[in-house]
Amino acid sequence: MFPGLEQTVPFQKYPGDDQAILGIARASWAHVTGGPGWMYIAPRKTPPEVRAAGFQMVESADDEVVVARSHLANSPAIDVYLDIIHEFLHILQRKQGRELWPGRRVRYVDRPTEIEAYAYSVVEARRLSVPDSYLRRYLEVPWVPRGDYLRLLKHLGVAKPAPRRTRK
């Protein structure tokens, strides 16, 4: 999927049997797509809430990380790295039988699988001395409303932004 991933500190700390995790990594695929976007695990079927918003996801019964070519080409390397760590943890979660797309009943930022995957990436970012100011930008995504975003920061222990000062 991503050559060298098995050499990284986070890979060596994923929970579970090291050999089994290595086998999962070797059996996983990256699917690079055109157009805008980021990274996600291909669902077996596009979730209804995503389809209702007008999007069609790459669907797969296999463990595929879908990556937008524009993300690989234009995003900072640290963002791509943190996303890879995040998404591979989702593959491990799915192998454990956990639901990645529980539907509208659980908000994106409150899904246990998302909190766990983001927390894993935040730990690695902090190990690399990435400041909270950068993490706030990394964690702010267009599909998450502001209140949910602030709740995600709280879930992850990332300091919220300073209040905006108004000019008098």
Higher pLDDT, 105 or 153: 153
Confidence of residue 8 (pLDDT cuts 50, 70, 90): very high
Confidence of residue 1 (pLDDT cuts 50, 70, 90): low
* pLDDT at position 167 over 80: no
Nearest to residue 24, comparing CAs of 10, 6, 8, 9?
6
How far apart, in whole angstroms, are the C-alpha atoms of residue 38 and residue 166?
34
Beta strands in 51-138 (DSSP E): 64-68
How far apart, in whole angstroms, are the C-alpha atoms of residue 160 and residue 69?
31
Query: pLDDT averaged over the chain?
Result: 91
Q: What token pair was written down for 97?
A: 């039988």
DSSP letter at 32 equals E
Query: What are the tens digits of pLDDT across the range 34-85?
Result: 977 889 999 988 888 788 878 888 999 888 999 999 999 999 999 999 999 9
* pLDDT at position 147 over 90: yes
Rg of the chain over Cα atoms, rounded to whole angstroms, equals: 16
Strand pairing partners for 29? Answer: 64
Q: Which residue has the tokens 């539907």?
A: 103
